[in-house]
Chain A
Amino acid sequence: MQGLNRRFEVIVVGAGPAGLSAAYILAKKGFHVVLLERGRGVGSKQVFGGRVYSSLLERVFGSLGDAPIHRWVRRERLSIINGERMLTVEYISGGKYSFTTYLGQLASWMAGKAVEAGAIIVDEVRVDRILVEDNSVVGVESGGDTLKADVVVDAEGANRLLLEELGLVEKPRPSDMALGVKEVIKLGEEKIDERFGLRSGEGAAWILAGSVSAYTPGGGFIYTNKDSVSIGVVVSLESGGLVEEPYRLVESMRLNPLLKDIWREGDIIEYSAHLVPERSVRLIPSKLALNNFLVVGDAAGLLLNTGYTIRGVDYAAYSGYLAANAIVEAEEKYGSYSEEVLRRLYEERLKRSMVFRDIARHKAVEMIWENPTMIKQYAALLLDTLGGLYELGESTPSLRETFKNARRKNKVSLIRVMADLVHGVMKA
């Protein structure tokens, strides 16, 4: 950090969607902001699943006209796979709600906006510690150098080394986090259009459960980028370790007989991994602000996995936006970044927002979806029932009969099914 002699009002740690959004808004309001990023350039350490919801992003950045949007998601698919059988539900959307991209590209686009607004981004700087004096954050430390500022925004991401060192959070239990592994397969734009039934510029988002992820809690995902396909699995970390190595899981998904022809002739151009803050409710810090200090994005545990979709990037951007606005208002109205002021202007507003309320609301759904025995049993029950209806020999059994046979075969009582159904609907 040598050469950073200028006095900055705000230091942002981490150039992901949360940190970049905060830096952009603050710079636009005339604050002297420096953003410190450990990677080389912006985006070189960024990993996500593949899809971004646009609405909150537009709230932060205005028009997405020049954003690196690969495809607008038109086809939403949800599949359950059990051995050689698969049930797929497809919804074709009429509007533009979410798009696919590479997160590194999106981060670079955000960085362009932030720099244009006057923010300074310094890369290849790993922040080692948040500096505290007299119970207040005063800056950061990196490689023995210190950099001071009036307020620090922590956007360090899912691995909260700084927050743990600061004592604001504990090291998460493995079961609170999931591990996502992903392959990007280059296939070519036309082949993608053809094989997914897409028109030019349209995309598909596909969530898969069942044997495709070896029934481990979590599931598989497929997203179409412009000329590549991102495929991967998200598995909950359990304290005993994973049953099967993550690269074997993603490779067996790539080679699954029901799927492999989709990316036939494709080539793997990247293999990545990232932690997913899965049990958000347990991961959100007890306080999202301290004196002169705010926490945003994955570091704040802001991610939602409903079972049919995963949302994180837009939440991160929105939390960065709220944090930046809180800093602006704290300066204007109170001339103070005290914990009390920042919690009122940032934490309370975040907690009243849809983002936060949705995260709290959906936690029960996560639990059901993540129950591996339940996924396995119901995948078999559902596919045995459909198999009974469609795979006809001499007789043509009724739905009632095939369902009964499937229940018997999988040892699921009718009462269990009804109880689970009611339970699921009530909690959803």
Chain B
Amino acid sequence: MTSIGDKPLRVDDLLQRNVWDVDHRPHITVDTEKCRLCEAKPCITTCPAGCYILAGNKVVFSYEGCLECGACRLICPYNAVKWSYPLSGKGVQYRFS
């Protein structure tokens, strides 16, 4: 067993602790055209998996590390998030939660 240490882990390090069966079909899509109008971009700080990142002034979304919580769907002020669950049992496979 490795010790986790005294430094905060990055979100990617946390996500790597989980078991995944990532689907090739995205279960969430984001209309990033709408994001250009959005000043606040609350998705960036709200997503617990860091799926929304800011590249310059653009929102870049990736579904692969999604924890399927649904927070982005509620927080998006422009309804830019088309949200569903993965098909065929894919996505995160929780074991200890």
Contact = CB atoms under 8 A, between A and B. Distances in A.
A301 to B, nearest CB: 14
B93 A237 contact: no
10 contacts: A38-B85, A39-B89, A102-B95, A159-B73, A179-B69, A239-B42, A247-B14, A268-B4, A268-B14, A275-B69
Given A45-B91, A247-B9, A268-B4, 8 more contacts: A174-B75, A184-B97, A237-B74, A239-B42, A247-B48, A247-B50, A270-B17, A273-B69
Given A123-B89, A241-B42, A271-B18, A255 B8 contact: yes
A379 to B, nearest CB: 23
B43 A241 contact: yes
Contacts of A240: 40, 42
Nearest to B41: A241
Contacts of A270: 17-18, 94-97
A337 to B, nearest CB: 27
Interface size class of A (residues with CB under 8 A): 35 or more
Contacts, number: 162
B54 interface: no
B45 A252 contact: no
Interface of B: 1-4, 6-9, 11, 14-15, 17-18, 21, 40-50, 67-71, 73-75, 77, 83-97
Interface in A245-263: 245-248, 251-252, 254-255, 260
A245 B15 CA distance: 14
Contacts of B8: 248, 251-252, 254-255
A269 interface: yes
Contacts of B4: 185, 254, 266-268
